[in-house]
């Protein structure tokens, strides 16, 4: 991850690209929407009787990476497609850069769409065009001259590290390379917002990491607002600043990523998080006795300040059985399984109380005897 990040930091030339950066905040006269680049209120879209998205209200801040997560069929694609008018809501209001787009016809949506880049799960590159012609298409649509396009395409190829593939056709590229072309194409017309619909779902973990690092870099260096939908918590963990959890078309949870990771409130969030949170190893779980034993097995979830404190030192005889601390958005978030001596009930109770006053969640799972 760090390796990729450094690589692309070197590649990103913000000035040459001249994409509206964070400074647009001051440079551009803002409508009533203020710092919000996208604002949805009570948006609903039904297919037949069942709503795909149901009374969704949300705002996207300029310069942030907002992750939207949910299971298959939760309505993520429908929601993101509403933002550039590919999908029409039945009711509700959608504002993009202060402009209400729900009332615009197809022709008047076109200039709005040119301000919004989009990347897709299956890349959607034109097979009949070379890499450079694919990237140049949004510029052609904008009416740029051949010379302008050529210059801009060269910058973008450099940005995504594919300068040597300009004359290749998409079929000659790997999945990761195709998505880089997709990203370059989405950025070509200097959009103010980038929509990503499962952009890494068709890629292997290593390639996913490098694509996410590239997106994060673009966000940091160019200040580009990114709205990213996924069904993988790992993607959210790596790049998003804020997360919205969607379930059956409704927003069930919303907040800064590290807080949602540390304290998931909705059931959907918890189950989506399950893949990332450590669980008690089966060998240990099988030996668990609900009533008594040498050691109590305690599950501790903690985050933020609490996770930075040397709290283990306060627990006499406690051992770390399993788990660890992860860093989300620079904040420590972790799940630990501790073994605490259980012979002295009072001492155990005290230890648990101590943990409870520091951690987000503490649970005595049971007891084990012998060597745990």
Partner 1 sequence: MSQAMLDLLWRSFWETITMTGFSGLISLVAGLPLALILILTDRGGLAENLWINRSLGAVINGFRSVPFIILLVALIPVTRFIVGTSLGTWASIVPLSIAATPYYARIAEVSLREVDRGLIEAARAMGATRWTIIREVLVPEAMPSLVAGFTVTLVTLVGASAMAGAIGAGGLGDLAIRYGYQRFETEIMVAVVAILIVLVSGVQWIGDRLVERLDHRIVKR
Kindly state whether residue 227 participates in binding ligand ATP, applying the rule CB under 6 A: no
Q: Which of 149, 209, 231, 237 binds ligand ATP (CB under 6 A)?
A: 231
Query: Tokens 């051992």 correspond to what residue?
Result: 319
Q: Measured from the CB atom, is 8 or 120 closer to ligand ATP?
A: 120
Checking phi first, is residue 144 left (phi over 0); if not, alpha (psi -120 to 50) or beta? beta
C-beta of 161: minimal distance to partner 1 in Å? 21
Stretch that binds partner 1, among 51-59, 113-121, 244-252, 271-279 (CB under 8 A): 113-121
Kindly state whether residue 72 participates in binding ligand ATP, applying the rule CB under 6 A: yes
C-beta of 69: minimal distance to ligand ATP in Å? 9
Kindly state whether residue 83 participates in binding ligand ATP, applying the rule CB under 6 A: no
Q: Which does 288 bind (CB under 5 to 8 A by kind): partner 1, ligand ATP, Mg ion, none?
A: none
Contacts of 3 (CB under 8 A, 6+ apart): none
Kindly state whether residue 118 participates in binding ligand ATP, applying the rule CB under 6 A: no
| List of E strands, 185-341 | 193-197, 225-230, 242-247, 250-256, 295-303, 319-328, 331-341
State the first-to-last Cα distance of the chain, in angstroms, to the nearest integer.
Answer: 35
Q: Which does 78 bind (CB under 5 to 8 A by kind): Mg ion, ligand ATP, partner 1, none?
A: ligand ATP
Q: Measured from the CB atom, is 58 or 195 closer to partner 1?
A: 195
Q: Which of residues 175-204 bind partner 1 (CB under 8 A)?
A: 185, 189, 195
Is residue 298 within 8 A of residue 352, CB to CB? The reply is yes
Q: Which of 10, 16, 31, 126 binds partner 1 (CB under 8 A)?
A: 126
Q: Measured from the CB atom, is 235 or 348 closer to Mg ion?
A: 235
Kindly state whether residue 49 participates in binding ligand ATP, applying the rule CB under 6 A: no
Kindly state whether residue 127 participates in binding partner 1, applying the rule CB under 8 A: yes
C-beta of 203: minimal distance to ligand ATP in Å? 15
Q: Measured from the CB atom, is 248 or 287 closer to ligand ATP?
A: 248
Cα 75–Cα 76–Cα 80 angle in degrees, nearest 5: 120
Q: Which of 4, 39, 62, 76 binds ligand ATP (CB under 6 A)?
A: 76
Long-range contacts: 119-122, Cβ < 8 Å, 24+? 119/179, 119/182, 119/183, 119/186, 119/194, 119/195, 119/196, 119/197, 119/199, 120/182, 120/197, 120/198, 120/199, 121/197, 121/198, 121/199, 121/201, 121/202, 122/202
Residue 191 phi/psi, 5-degree rounding, is -75, 165
CA distance 347 to 5: 47
Considering only CA atoms, which of 197, 168, 177, 166 is closest in space to residue 74? 197
Applying CB under 8 A, the residues found at the interface with partner 1 are 84, 86, 107, 109-114, 116, 118, 120, 122, 124, 126-129, 137-138, 140-142, 169-172, 185, 189, 195
């Amino acid at each position: 991850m760090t390796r990729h990040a450094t690589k692309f930091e070197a590649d990103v030339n913000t000035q040459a690209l001249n994409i509206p950066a964070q400074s647009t905040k001051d440079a551009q006269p803002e409508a009533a929407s203020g710092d919000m680049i996208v604002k949805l209120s009570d948006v609903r879209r039904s297919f037949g009787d069942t709503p795909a998205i149901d009374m969704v209200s949300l705002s996207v801040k300029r310069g942030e990476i907002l992750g939207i997560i949910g299971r298959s069929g939760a309505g993520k694609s429908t929601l993101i497609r509403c933002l550039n008018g590919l999908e029409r809501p039945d009711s509700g209001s959608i504002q993009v850069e202060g402009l209400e787009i729900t009332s615009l016809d197809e022709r008047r949506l076109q200039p709005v769409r040119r301000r919004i880049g989009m990347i897709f799960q299956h890349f959607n590159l034109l097979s009949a065009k070379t890499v450079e012609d694919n990237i140049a298409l949004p510029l052609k649509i904008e009416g740029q001259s051949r010379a302008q396009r050529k210059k801009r395409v060269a910058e973008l190829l450099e940005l995504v590290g594919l300068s040597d593939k300009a004359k290749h056709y998409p079929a000659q590229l790997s999945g990761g390379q195709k998505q880089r072309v997709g990203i370059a194409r989405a950025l070509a017309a200097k959009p103010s917002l980038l929509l990503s619909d499962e952009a890494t779902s068709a890629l292997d973990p290593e390639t996913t990491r490098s694509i996410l690092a590239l997106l994060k870099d673009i966000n940091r260096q160019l200040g580009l607002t990114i709205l990213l939908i996924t069904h993988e918590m790992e993607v959210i963990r790596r790049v998003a600043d804020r997360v919205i959890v969607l379930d059956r078309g409704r927003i069930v949870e919303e907040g800064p990523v590290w807080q949602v990771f540390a304290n998931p409130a909705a059931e959907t969030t918890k189950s989506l998080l399950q893949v990332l949170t450590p669980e008690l190893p089966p060998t240990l779980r099988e030996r668990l006795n609900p009533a008594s034993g040498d050691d109590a097995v305690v599950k501790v979830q903690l985050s933020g300040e609490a996770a930075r404190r040397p709290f283990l030192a306060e627990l006499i005889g406690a051992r770390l059985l399993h788990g660890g601390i992860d860093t989300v958005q620079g904040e420590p978030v972790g799940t630990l399984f501790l073994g605490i001596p259980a012979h002295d009930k009072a001492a155990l109770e005290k230890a648990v109380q101590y943990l409870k006053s520091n951690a987000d969640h503490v649970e005595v799972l049971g007891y084990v005897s012998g060597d745990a």
